Structure 1
Amino acid sequence: MELVWLYMVLIPVQHVLAVTWLYLAKQSSLRGALQDPGDCKGLRGLVEEQVRICQRQVEAMDAVKHAAELAIEECQHQFHARRWNCSTLQGLQVFGKVTIQGTRESAFIHAIAAAGVAFAVTQACSHGELEDCGCDRKIRGVSAEGFQWSGCSDNLSYGIAFSQAFVDNPERSRGISSSRALMNLHNNEAGRKAILSHMKVECKCHGVSGSCEVRTCWKVMPPFREVGNVLKEKFEGATEVHPKWVGSRKLLVPKSSRFKPYTVHDLIYLLASPDFCDWDPRHGVFGTSGRQCNRTSPAMDGCELLCCGRGFRSAHTEVVERCGCKFRWCCSVTCKQCRHLVEVHSCR
């Protein structure tokens, strides 16, 4: 979903640059477009060090673009029924000011974006698309369960290292005195940990008539949808923090002693979120007026919560669906088109 940004908003430069690389998702395919390292300077949204990484590893940029697409798509899937639904803008700041406000929404964006780069680059390694990496051959020998480690394990360590170098750089350039940088770096790492902690084992049986006398196994990443599900749960249980100096180090600690201590797997945020109910371009909030809602749901997608108590309008609309499908030998399926009226509800 695209919204046209009609307002000029002044935002501190050091905050704006954090995830502007997501703008790669809105640029045409990079495959074949980057013939020379010098072409990297023409990519919008990259900070200086990211341009240098592009120049050193031009072939990886198609994976980075795919990562941006994955992150945006997953964000919109996870939040499609909430007041903030990851609507994207036309400018470099793809999600608008939400990404720089230090809220739990910003925490999720940073986590899913960092995870996206680790995931897409690792996938490119496994597919043989990058010269600098391939499968992870470090896992060898016999496991405690008795199977033989072999095959092409996903080289997640390479993908994580690339993500740390590429995604974290705008934050590290701010210096450790920035609370927002500390927050974003923590959430970036939590995003990558969501993949690492959910790696799966796949196996192949060997033996007479598939007897599975011997199994060879390898490690693979979880589907990215599973990563999104994990981070959405972390979003729901995110910890509000505030800065505290411990000696010469600045740390982010839970704002209240009643809050649980957070781990490297959890998301953290500095500021409470706005309610996202009303159009407020100054703060990058588009409101929920006109959004479709579920009249019978008590959850966030329900008309009462999604419409913020303003009420809703109901209307009937015609829906065309495939129906009466039949399989014809061989080998096709033919269907009819059925039309029926459905009632839809939208927020006032």
Structure 2
Amino acid sequence: MAHRTETTLLDKLLLLPLLAKVLVAVFFRAILTPFNTGPKGNGTKKDLIFAALRTFLGGVNSAQEHWLNSLQITDQNYLDFAKKQKFEPETSTLESGLKLHWLGPKTASRVLLYFHGGGYAMSCSPGHFQWLFDLQNDISKDISIVVPSYAVTPAAQYPTQLKQAAEALHWLIEKQGRSPREIVLGGDSAGGNLCMALLSHILHPHPDAIKIHLRQPLASAILISPWVKFATDDPSWTRNASTDMFVPTAGHRWTDLFLGSSPKDNYNEPIRGNSEWYSDLDKIVSDVLIWGGGGEVLIDSIRDFSKTIEAAHSKTKLVVEPGAGHEEFIFDANLGYKCSFVDRPSRHHARSLAPVFSKTVIRLWSISTFPFVARISSELNRQL
């Protein structure tokens, strides 16, 4: 399906009645919530925000969405965030013009190559940078996080993002001289999709992307609420419709814009790959961590996909946070929350993962699931 991306004055004006519709939806959600016996989001405030987002994402068109995203692009968000946090921004520009934005020292012994989410239609948000900044500070000063400013739709479609992801990893290994064992891949939502596309490319080189030669496996791969299936026919899309922020129309719009005229394949839709496709995954990445929210609409596809990965790689772990929405702890950062799921026992989970995962993954997982809790970070670092 073709989507119009040129924004007209009418498109901008029509955002006003859409805003009114959002406010009405929030009002009725607030009024009816006490009488609703069905599932709700985590907390009244978040439940109302999810209702607002569902209404907005279901009513906005691609041209309006493109215009709104153009007001906050990744590169500018990074510069603004650096100014706010009072650190000197550091950006590496690759041969193609792709920019890699750094959080933490480039000389750190470990690096997390992180691909942000947003349906391939949205830039890296200030909340993403805030969460990653706190993550880097909580874990260790000896790890850096690098965020590629990959191209988003409608300006760029598949396989552009895969080409850029491969270029970023190739640069870290071949130009910076980093060992793959020092590199963790990570991503949320569409960024999780891109992580898997990159791993598939390493296993089965895509003709349009630069080849990646690994001398040893990558340290880890961390997939947060990964978008692995484009169809919206799983029961969780209905079951969790009121506990998440997404609606099918948004998923369909982002899929169409991302794929363009390209067919679906094992790279752009990871759930299409079977255990044979991923059979050598353990040779290119030491362990895989997949996080999903029990209350998100993608959870059924995440569970199904995890089974395929677990069959191919014994050091795969799926963590499902009961009741949580899509990448909820990152969403919390966008809301300005300083912690999430604080009362849940992180040490127990970290210990249970210890026999399976590297220290890097345990630390990342612990802080990811319980962000901004410095005392937990310190305790884990002492134990490990």
Tell whether the structures are fold-level matches, with TM greater than 0.5.
Answer: no
More strand by share: 1
- Whose helix proportion is higher, 1 or 2? 2
